[in-house]
Amino acid sequence: MTEPLDPSAAPAGHNADHGLLALYRSLVLIRCSEERLSAMFADGEVPGFIHLSIGQEAVSVGVMAALTAQDTIASTHRGHGHAIAKGLSLDGFFAELLARDTGLCRGRGGSMHVADMSVGMLGANGIVGAGLSIALGSALAHRTQKSGAVAVAFFGDGALAEGLVHECLNMAALWRLPMLFVCENNGWGEFLPTSKQLSFALKDLAAAYRIPHVLVDGNDVAAVAEAAARIVPEVRADGPRIIECMTTRVRGHFEGDAQKYRDADDLAALSERDPLRITATQLVRAGIAEDALASITEEVKARIHAAVEAARAAPGPGFEAALADVYTAAPAGMEAR
């Protein structure tokens, strides 16, 4: 908790220091990145549909702190936090959201499809629930290859209504795959509370599938990291687990959503559960100077600034290159196309 700040440290994740300050840095990185995106979206500089994870960052950071580079994750439409915490290239991230050729997806995917295979981030996903089956298959591959890696599926509470999720719970349990289910329960699926969408609690479903389930405060990164550190080794050794993170969707369903359908007091109260605030308070209580936290924010912002400027300077994607990537080049001698 008192380690010196290393400005060159990678975001929490692979072999990173799991101390709270490192986690905090990662929270700040996600938050500042998304706030920057929000501003650029409002300015018309970021196109498409943007779903921010502001208020939910602690889930990504806490879980990823327990993973290695070999572990894989499958994400959702609200995937920026997962992607950044897993350690994807920040330059590639911003370049993608700005639709540049230097983007991780060369400007073809955008926010809903950011992916970085080099760090085991198998993609955000525009289809609610689809990531679970991708993680399921990745877990199957890990097991078949005896790699010792785990696969993690992130999904929202609204996704629990998709039949595919149940198919995956059943198969993961049946085959005892090294798969971690992480539910980000923010109480909403688009514009309707999930209490009006779901007749069940995940805890009870987990009991039916006999998959051990823990409920954590998804806005307390220390709590999430502690749970993940305990549970990921169980997944590696013994099979599927579920971590359900109670969390808060702050910015509405997508950028541009004024959330008129929400109770104003509820919205106002969200700041009390702000993951950054919670962790900052813990750090200050543990003796970290407020200045140290502020300087983390400054550094992070500088890093983001550099990424944004690099993205702005980068060329847009080329049509011919895109067309050439619909298929992989056929293996030598096969001339499949």
Partner 1 sequence: MPELRYLKAINLALADAMAADPSVILIGEDVSEAGGAFGASRGLRERFGAERIVDTPISEAAIAGAAVGAALSGLRPVVEIMFMDFTTLVMDAMVNQAAKARFMFGGQSSVPMVLRTPHGGGLGAGPQHSQCLEAWFAHVPGLKVVCPSDPASAYGLLRAAIADPDPVVFVENKALYAMKAEVPAELPIIPLGQAATLREGRDVSIIAYGAAVHTALAAASQLAGEGVEAEILDLRSIQPWDEQAVLRSLAKTHRLVVVHEAVEAFGVGAEIVARMADIGFDELDGPIVRVGAPFMPVPFSKGLETAYLPSAERVVQAVRRTLA
Ligand X SMILES: Cc1ncc(C[n+]2csc(CCOP(=O)(O)OP(=O)(O)O)c2C)c(N)n1
Least Å from the CB of residue 199 to a second copy: 4
Least Å from the CB of residue 189 to a second copy: 12
Regarding 45 and contact with a second copy (CB under 8 A), the answer is no
Helices (H) and strands (E) in the chain, counts: 12, 7
With vertex at residue 220, the alpha carbon angle to CA 61 and CA 212, rounded to the nearest 5 degrees, is: 80
Q: Which of Mg ion, a second copy, partner 1, none binds 319 (CB below 5-8 Å, type-dependent)? A: partner 1
Q: How far is CA 8 from CA 11, 16, 32, 279, in A?
A: 9, 12, 17, 21
Regarding 285 and contact with a second copy (CB under 8 A), the answer is no
Q: Which of a second copy, ligand X, partner 1, none binds 201 (CB below 5-8 Å, type-dependent)? A: a second copy
Q: Which of partner 1, Mg ion, a second copy, none binds 246 (CB below 5-8 Å, type-dependent)? A: none
Q: Which of Mg ion, partner 1, a second copy, none binds 186 (CB below 5-8 Å, type-dependent)? A: Mg ion
Choose the stretch contacting Mg ion; rule: CB under 5 A; options: 10-18, 150-158, 199-207, 298-306: 150-158
How is 30-76 classified by DSSP, letter by letter?
HHHHHHHHHHHHHTT-S-S-----TT-HHHHHHHHTT--TT-EEE--
What whole-number distance in Å separates Cα of residue 195 and Cα of residue 305?
40
Q: 78 or 142: whose CB is closer to ligand X?
A: 78
Neighbours of 91 (CB within 10 A): 20
Q: What are phi and psi of 301, to 5 degrees?
A: -60, -40
Least Å from the CB of residue 253 to ligand X: 6
Q: Which of Mg ion, ligand X, a second copy, none binds 205 (CB below 5-8 Å, type-dependent)? A: a second copy
Q: 139 or 159: whose CB is closer to ligand X?
A: 159
Dihedral angle of Cα 281, 286, 292, 294, to the nearest 10 degrees: 0
Regarding 156 and contact with Mg ion (CB under 5 A), the answer is yes
Q: Which of a second copy, ligand X, Mg ion, none binds 166 (CB below 5-8 Å, type-dependent)? A: a second copy
Q: 161 or 270: whose CB is closer to a second copy?
A: 161
Regarding 210 and contact with a second copy (CB under 8 A), the answer is yes
Q: How many CA atoms lie within 13 A of 316 on its CB side?
A: 2
Q: Which of partner 1, ligand X, a second copy, none binds 72 (CB below 5-8 Å, type-dependent)? A: partner 1
SS3 at position 325: coil
Choose the stretch contacting a second copy; rule: CB under 8 A; options: 99-107, 207-215, 224-232, 288-296: 207-215
Q: 225 or 242: whose CB is closer to partner 1?
A: 242
Least Å from the CB of residue 233 to a second copy: 22
Q: 204 or 263: whose CB is closer to a second copy?
A: 204
Single out the residue of 279, 281, 284, 285 nearest to residue 20, CA to CA: 279
Query: Could you tell me which residues come within 8 angstroms of residue 174 by beta carbon, excluding any fewer than 6 positions away?
Result: none
Judge whether 243 and 63 are in contact, CB under 8 Å.
yes
Single out the residue of 281, 275, 271, 291 nearest to residue 29, CA to CA: 275
Q: Which of ligand X, Mg ion, a second copy, none binds 204 (CB below 5-8 Å, type-dependent)? A: a second copy
Single out the residue of 207, 247, 235 nearest to residue 27, CA to CA: 247
- Would you tell me which residues interact with Mg ion (CB under 5 A)? 156-158, 186, 188
